[in-house]
Amino acid sequence: MHIHLAKWRIIAAGIIGNVIEYYDFALIGFLAVIMGQLFFPSNDPFLSLLGSFGAFAAGMVMRPIGAIFFGHIGDRIGRKHALIGSLVMMALPTFLIGFLPTYAQIGIAAPVILVGLRMIQGFSVGGEYASSIVYLVEESPQNHQNLYGSFVSLGAKLGMAIGAGFCGILLGYLGEESMLGWGWRIPFWGSMVLALFGVYLRRHLTDNYEAPKTKEIPILKIIKHHRREFWLFLALASAIWILYYTLFIYMPVWLQTYGGLDKTASSSINTYSIALGVIFIPIMAIVADRIGSLHLMRLSAIIITISIIPIFMLMGLQNIYYTLISVSIMTVLLCAFQAPVFAATVSAISVHNYRASFTAVILGSAAGIVGGSTPALMTALTKVTAQPLSPAFLITVFAMIGWWALNKIEKLSP
């Protein structure tokens, strides 16, 4: 499909923030064990890992607050202002984490500062993700809303691939001892290169949005007049993001603990799944543009409900080839479930100047509260139940909730 150069610039400017955001998330997933040892030391490796994922969750919980703030800016002032402001506020804490002293150097202040920086990140990410989605969908050609909306997730997976790949190269080159001693800082410093490129792209961003002259507060109007749409799309997005963060953030830990793989093999499979997602997200978005967003998501929810437990059982056989097949199937299903949700959420309500707030709060809450707590929740659940299939059972429940929400959403459609 031919896309004019000007459109490529719009796409690049729209997705760069998500590249940076998920580059950082990849660092958390890849370096979770190292960060746990350095900032949350404990005689129990489980507690160290839980502390690392807890810091991740603390930042993610701030996403809904940032979503309200930047969504309001996007609706009341303009999409461009929200995009530039959130990018700058997101990049700086990532860079600063690379300079943090560890628990061994300054004690309890180290994890406190880390959590504080994570919370600033989460606040800004809440606005960045939705602002870029709304911008891309609104600037998209007719009948290509799903494809353009999916570019945000494509940017996210590119960021994760860059982050995981960079960490993998460093680990192979430096070794585990040097990586634990000082090498873990390098990927955080590297984020500044992406940030400067992002500011360059967004400086001359075109924005056709016209802010309303009224002084109404969009989120309050949404809660008053579009409450049903809000809760249904929140349930749907939550179902998608719990699978997303299980696959791309928690899975390396699960594979090392229950899948019989070492750190190198599990990180390689993680990078592979992200790369596969880069390929299938736009493919599934094109399918959604052809057959309809709700139809593709409903079909995906049913297949996930049926297949996710057998997929985890197959990975539990501790055979790397079975694991590759399982992860491949899971990634394709996730892409089919996720690719259409962006344009569907932006188009869920007809009022143009509510869209940024509506999309930001829904996706910010789903990704922040549900998705952000997923790695810690899965870690605790498998520990408490002593059942490696616990994540699969939880994903099944959420997939059924997503399917139910989609049926209700379809009935709302005119």
The domain limits of the chain are 5-204+216-412
What are the pLDDT digits (tens) for 284-334? 999 999 999 999 999 999 999 999 999 999 999 988 999 999 999 999 999
Q: Which amino acid is at 140?
A: S
Distance CA 360, CA 126 (A): 7
Residue 207 has pLDDT above 70, yes or no: no
Q: What is the pLDDT of residue 354?
A: 74
Distance of CA 16 to the CA centre of its chain: 14
Q: What is the percent of the chain where pLDDT is above 70?
A: 88
Handedness of CA 76, 11, 16, 154 (dihedral sign): positive
Sequence letter at residue 95: F
Look-up: residue for tokens 């749907």?
236
Q: How confident is the model over 112-138, as a mean pLDDT?
A: 79
DSSP string, 278-318: HHHHHHHHHHHHHH-HHHHHHHHHHHHHHHHHHHHHHHTT-
Q: Which of the two residues, 19 and 351, has the higher pLDDT score?
A: 19
Amino acid at 401: I
Contact criterion met (CB below 8 Å) for 403 and 305: yes
Q: Give the whole-angstrom CA distance, residue 90 versus residue 65.
A: 14
Give the number of other Cβ atoms within 10 Å of residue 57's Cβ: 22
CATH homologous superfamily, domain 5-204+216-412: MFS general substrate transporter like domains (1.20.1250.20)
Determine if the pTM surpasses 0.85.
no
Share above pLDDT 90 across residues of the chain, in percent, rounded to a whole number: 23
CA of residue 184 relative to chain centroid, distance: 22
CA dist., res. 256 & res. 252, Å (int): 6
Closest CA to 360 of 267, 247, 183, 237: 237
- pLDDT band (50, 70, 90) for residue 23: confident
Q: Using the predicted structure, report yes or no on whether residue 243 has a pLDDT greater than 50.
A: yes
Instruction: Identify the three-state secondary structure at position 102.
Output: coil
What's the confidence (pLDDT) of residue 389? 92
Q: Give every CB contact of residue 5 below 8 A, 6+ residues apart in sequence.
A: none
**84-88 mean pLDDT:** 77
Residue (of 46, 278, 305, 50) closest to 159 by Cα position: 278
Mean pLDDT: which of 43-52, 227-236, 355-364 is highest? 227-236
Mean pLDDT of the 90-113 span? 84
Rounded average pLDDT over 30-38:
75
Position 236 scores a pLDDT of 95
Of 24, 88, 83, 85, which is closest to residue 59 (Cα–Cα)? 24
- Could you tell me the two tokens for 134? 């709304």
Q: Does the pLDDT at position 384 exceed 60?
A: yes
Q: What is the DSSP string of 197-223?
A: HHHHHHTT--------SS---HHHHHH
* Euclidean distance between CA atoms 186 and 122, whole angstroms: 21
How many CB atoms neighbour CB 397 within 10 A? 12
More confident residue, 3 or 134: 134
Angle 50-56-61 from CA coordinates, rounded to 5°: 115
Q: What is the pLDDT of residue 1?
A: 43
pLDDT digits (tens, 9 = 90+) for 149-205: 888 877 877 887 888 888 888 888 888 788 778 888 888 898 888 888 888 877 776
> Distance between CA 138 and CA 149 in Å, rounded?
9
Of residues 272, 275, 3, the one with CA closest to residue 158: 275
The pLDDT of residue 234 is above 80: yes
Provide the mean pLDDT of the chain.
82
Q: What is the pLDDT of residue 88?
A: 79
Is the pLDDT at 143 greater than 60? The verdict is yes
pLDDT at position 111: 80
- φ/ψ bin of 44: left (φ > 0), alpha (ψ from -120 to 50), beta (otherwise): beta
Task: Say yes or no to pLDDT of 208 above 70.
Answer: no
pLDDT of amino acid 311? 95
Q: What is the mean pLDDT of residues 36-40?
A: 76
The residue with greater pLDDT, 113 or 301, is 301
Kindly tell me if the per-residue pLDDT of 141 is higher than 50. yes
Q: What is the mean pLDDT of residues 84-112?
A: 83
Rounded Cα gap, residues 23 and 155, in angstroms: 10
Whole-number Å distance between alpha carbons of 215 and 76: 8
Look at 404 and 107; give whichever has higher pLDDT.
Answer: 404
Rank 21-35, 129-143, 204-218, 307-321 by mean pLDDT and report only the highest. 307-321
Residue 46 parent element (H or E): helix 45-61
Tokens of 286: 């094109």
